[in-house]
Amino acid sequence: MPEGDTVWNTARVLHRALAGARITGSDFRVPQLATTDLTGWTVRESASRGKHLLLRLDTPTGEHWSLHSHLRMDGAWRAYAPGERWSGRSAHLIRVVLRSPGAVAVGYHLHELTLVPTADEDHLVGHLGPDLLGPDWDPDEAVRRLAEHPEQTIGEALLDQRNLAGVGNLYKCEVLFLRGVSPWTPVGGVPDLPGLVALAQRLLAANRGRWTQSSTGSLHRGQTSYVYGRRAQPCRRCGTAIRKEELGERVTYWCPVCQPERPAPPPAG
């Protein structure tokens, strides 16, 4: 699931493969960048910002540009050795290919693929809240942003990247289960918002550097989550069947016994 930790890992893979390298060829397969040629450009670094990935490059004349991409639910970057067979995804999903002397980076089914001056990155990611895996992580600011909308459900609020950047459906479900909070509890009814935010950061950080996402501590297949992906299976705490609800692309899993809904407190005065 491409959430903040997956994007962080992807950025590290691209950084190891391309940082400091000169691009020897590029192939963009999206209309807005179809004629773009990065040959001769140098990769400065690869970085993540929440669920956004930023590949920062320098032109031969010293200008700074950033190739921005979003993985959403199905995007991915892969790094291959020159001459290695590109495996894992269908060729028709390729959106960009970047070649260097030591590696070939291939972007599959990328979204919002954009090339902008690095100084303009804020136009793309400046609206995001504190990044749970970034140097700017500020739990107090994340709590403040969440608390600004006390009537919003906590499930919706955690997915709003303007509050804190990096949480997706998987971590939303797991964090709320571990804190015993229903996804439909209004933010104002969450008893310990700082504790919930701190747990979200710890879970993402614990999975940083590995591709198997686990909230249980186990990396064994079928044992990595408490509720996510476990519809109708027994709750690991109480044995009640886990429930699932879909709303568009949003999916929520929860235990109705372990996660009782709490009402929002009445307005002051």
Comparing CA positions, the residue from 268, 269, 244 lying closest to residue 256 is 244
| Cβ–Cβ under 8 Å, residues 55 and 109 | no
SS3 assignment for the chain: CCCHHHHHHHHHHHHHHHCCCECCEEEECCHHHCCCCCCCCEEEEEEEECCEEEEEEECCCCCEEEEEEECCCCCEEEEECCCCCCCCCCHHHEEEEEECCCCEEEEECCEEEEEEEHHHCHHHHCCCCCECCCCCCCHHHHHHHHHCCCCCEHHHHHHCCCCCECCCHHHHHHHHHHHCCCCCCEHHHCCCHHHHHHHHHHHHHHHCCCCCCCCCCCCCCCCCCCCCCCCCCECCCCCCECEEEEECCEEEEECCCCCCCCCCCCCCC
Write down the pTM of the prediction: 0.90
Residues of the chain falling short of pLDDT 50: none
Q: What are phi and psi of 118, to 5 degrees?
A: -55, -35
Q: What is the pLDDT of residue 265?
A: 63
Q: Which residue is associated with the tokens 């701190």?
A: 198
Catalytic residue list: 2-3, 51, 250
Q: What are phi and psi of 145, to 5 degrees?
A: -65, -40
The pLDDT tens digits of the residues spanning 167-223 come to 999 999 999 999 999 999 999 999 999 999 999 999 999 999 898 899 999 999 999
| Rounded-to-integer distance, Cα 109 and Cα 218, Å | 30
Q: Which residue is associated with the tokens 């290695």?
A: 84
| Cβ–Cβ under 8 Å, residues 187 and 157 | yes
Q: Which residues contact 117 (CB under 8 A, 6 or more apart)?
A: 63, 64, 65, 66
Q: What is the pLDDT of residue 174?
A: 97
| Rounded-to-integer distance, Cα 49 and Cα 169, Å | 17
Comparing CA positions, the residue from 174, 173, 197, 186 lying closest to residue 250 is 173
How far, rounded to the nearest angstrom, does the alpha carbon of residue 196 sit from its chain's CA centroid?
Answer: 18
| Cβ–Cβ under 8 Å, residues 151 and 264 | yes
